[in-house]
Chain A
């Protein structure tokens, strides 16, 4: 297993422990590295027959999911439970959100009940930042906010890539699909830039942020290049990550047809063969098989899709552990 990298702090300075995880734009390479090392240790716990350690006994984690989710919510819940935290799930229905209670009042209520950490999934960008601004003692983890960020997804993606490539330095990662609406693409761009990988974005021009298409403007993402032609983009790639296409984009006039999308931007065997031998194929899920990804590939040898899910639990264990104990030490 990889060894822990030294923390890049200037002599005589101390880095305040992180309280919230909102996106990866404020993570250094070494912070990511240390976290992924810790996640590897957690994967070892996941492999045991008794998958439970007492590290977070007496801590309360609330998952507040105001948008549908299966894998991310269950992944956080399982991660908390395996570390012996008490995990309480609050959803959109059956909660006071249904009665029109504001997000602020819901969060203040949970804080008053002494929740240690809220994992928030929200349909609107910036909602976790809003909670971080108003909560004084409860930590916030962003589990996906609108079109903005999904930092734990990006961290589990980085973990998956690192496990197979060793180092991400100089790796070529192609992200294909609806980048404009993708919180996964945005968070990955920051994490990959910090890790020294190069990112190529590929997809319909109607689904790219306009600021990235405009020459000479200020781009919103670091160290990314655009290549609309998937065959060219995928050349010599180490990793190909394809994004979920929401069916309603076509109704919204952003796509001529699913058929045309599939013809131009579906990742299939022929296209994967242009990547480096042994290149990884990733997808954040849930998949539309036969649209953004060919069915045969989704379940083929290069697919990391189930591996991503397993790593997701380990990564979230490491993250909860770090945030709730203030240390990266392994249990």
Chain B
């Protein structure tokens, strides 16, 4: 058990009660022991941290991370992924079931719990697969998975393959009180132009794709499955969660469904909120049709599914995050090896390593005036907790007596991304070398120090 920790004179933002005030926070015996007042005794051996100018919030909750274990340990392990999460201010990671073997049995859920316990860092909550082997045919044993610790179901990486399977999943998971998360991609559109590489499309349909001679991934491929799923939610009930929403059209479907009172939630990633398709041209997001391509073009580190979209989509996504149509920021952290990305674009795997840059990227929206800080904190904490359900509400509060999952960050610290120094095995980010403003300084999970960046 760590020594008691007192953070003094920090801006305490607690989305569970809407409070936002400068004060102190005392952590002792794994729980939040005192908050707000500068009075009261300080226990012997307490570590005192000056939080002046910094923010204290509940630890961030990521609904969507690929930790790759079991089966993809060259890309990431639960130990390296949770270390990366802690450096990013996260105290809970929901890991995706596209592992080998798939998270489609209690055995794999239990294996993940054991690896997470051995890593001893932050909390890992697995999503189970919707279908056995994520093959889109038979439902998994959802009740058994839930009993073992699965917090929801998804075939992420793939969409839930058919409308019928989605309907059955919503009915069955709905009775268990768990959400069905969908990666909304109409394969009949995105797989029509096969590149023969076995990898998915990773660039938005539009002038950038066309300029590069790459098959484009149209917005319609997302929008049509979002619309399908919402129609099925209305039919079957249950709870639907839209993964990594990326299009203005998809946002409009979700907004209308929420207005009609349907139980749909949605997440957006830091990269879709802050970057556009132009990043695939290289040159860190700059570039116009009048400019020649160069050796930095075909930036495989910006290849992701769904792809980085047009600026109009990005703006719509930021608005949706601000107005609550998007409930949560989720990273879709997708670590890959150097060899996975050091290939021609069509052959590259999809995904970015995100956990360690998420806050710095998102603070750009706050510094740019597009979002206020308490809203951002809500979307990183109480927002995702609400997707998981009432029993996880205590993960997103600074209330006295709750488990001490806490992050301390400096909203104004400027730093340069150095992917080589990531705790994650995945160095695959186009942000390498970029300057971000906003940096995690301390992460406390269950009262234990999971990351300490105050010395550096």
User: How far is it, in angstroms, between the C-alpha of A130 and the C-alpha of B343 when the chains are bound?
Assistant: 7
Cβ–Cβ < 8 Å partners of A221 in chain B: 210-211
Contact residue among B206, B208, B342, B346 (Cβ-Cβ distance under 8 Å from A146): B346
How many residue pairs at the A-B interface have CB separations less than 8 Å? 102
B192 CB-CB contact with A under 8 Å: yes
Interface residues of B in 175-228 (CB under 8 A from A): 192-193, 195-197, 205-216, 218
Contact status B293-A210, CB under 8 Å:
no
List, in ascending order, chain B residues with CB within 8 A of A23's CB: 292-293
Give the interface residue-count category, chain B.
20 to 34
Tell whether B259 is near chain A: CB-to-CB under 8 Å: no
Interface SS of chain A = loop
The chain B residue with its CB closest to the CB of A220 is: B210
- Please name all residues of chain A whose beta carbon is closer than 8 Å to the beta carbon of B347 when the two chains form the complex: 124
Decide if B212 touches A126 in the complex (CB within 8 Å). yes
Q: How close is A139's CB to chain B, nearest CB, in angstroms?
A: 12
The segment from B161-169, B295-303, B445-453 found at the interface with A is: B295-303
Residues on B with C-beta less than 8 A from A124 are: 195, 197, 344-347
Which of A120-162 touch B at CB < 8 Å?
122-127, 129-130, 132-134, 145-149
CA A148 – CA B347 in complex, angstroms? 15
Interface residues on A, range: 35 or more
CB–CB A102/B339 < 8 A: yes
* Residue numbers in B under 8 Å from A222 (CB-CB): 289-290
Q: Say yes or no for B294: interface residue by CB 8 A criterion.
A: yes
Shortest CB-to-CB span from B433 to chain A, Å, is 15
Contact at B213–A146, with CB atoms within 8 Å? yes
Contact of A210 among B208, B210, B211, B212 (CB under 8 A): B210
Contacts A122-B344, A129-B298, A220-B207 known; A210 to B216 CB distance under 8 Å?
Answer: yes
Whether A301 sits at the interface, judged by CB under 8 Å, is no
- DSSP majority for the B interface? loop
Q: Does A252 sit within 8 A of B, measured CB to CB?
A: yes
Task: Identify B205's interface contact among A127, A132, A210, A253, CB under 8 A.
Answer: A210
Query: Contact: A211 with B207, CB < 8 Å?
Result: yes
Closest to B218 in A: A210
**B207, B214, B296: the one within 8 Å of A218 (CB):** B207
Docked complex: A18-56 residues within 8 A CB-CB of B: 20, 22-23, 25-26
Closest to A135 in B: B295
- Which residues of chain A from 70 to 110 have a CB within 8 Å of any chain B CB? 102-104
Kindly list chain B residues whose C-beta atoms are within 8 Å of the C-beta of A103: 343-344
A184-220 Cβ-contact flags toward B at 8 Å (1 or 0): 0010000000000000000000000111100001111
A129 touches B293 (CB 8 A): yes
Instruction: List the B side residues contacting A134 at CB < 8 Å.
Output: 342
Q: Is A183 an interface residue, CB under 8 A from the partner?
A: yes
Which residues on the B side are within 8 Å of A104 (C-beta)? 342-343
Give Cα A133–Cα B296 distance, bound, in whole angstroms: 6
Chain B residue nearest in CB terms to A126: B298
Interface hits, A173-189 → B, CB 8 Å: 183, 186
Nearest Cβ in chain B — how far from A174, in angstroms? 20
Quick one: which of B215, B294, B346 contacts A129, CB cutoff 8 A? B294
- Minimum CB–CB distance from A194 to chain B (whole Å) comes to 11
Which of B196, B210, B212 is the most central at the interface, judged by chain A CB atoms within 10 Å of its CB? B210
Minimal Cβ-Cβ distance residue in B for A19: B295
On whether the beta carbons of B207 and A22 are closer than 8 Å, the reply is: no
Which of B213, B218, B290 makes the CB contact (< 8 A) with A148?
Answer: B213
The answer to whether A147 and B339 touch across the interface, beta carbons within 8 angstroms, is: no
A122 CA / B196 CA spacing, docked (Å): 12
Q: How far is the CB of A109 from chain B (nearest CB, A)?
A: 15
27 contacts between A and B (CB under 8 A): A26-B292, A102-B343, A103-B344, A123-B196, A124-B195, A124-B347, A125-B298, A126-B214, A126-B345, A127-B344, A129-B298, A130-B342, A145-B213, A146-B213, A146-B214, A147-B215, A148-B212, A186-B213, A210-B205, A211-B205, A211-B206, A211-B210, A218-B206, A218-B207, A220-B211, A222-B289, A253-B192
Identify the B interface with A (CB < 8 A). Answer: 192-193, 195-197, 205-216, 218, 289-290, 292-298, 339, 342-347
6 extra interchain contacts, Cβ-Cβ under 8 A, other than A126-B344, A130-B342? A103-B344, A130-B343, A134-B342, A148-B213, A183-B213, A220-B207
Interface residues of A (CB under 8 A from B): 20, 22-23, 25-26, 102-104, 122-127, 129-130, 132-134, 145-149, 183, 186, 209-212, 217-222, 252-253
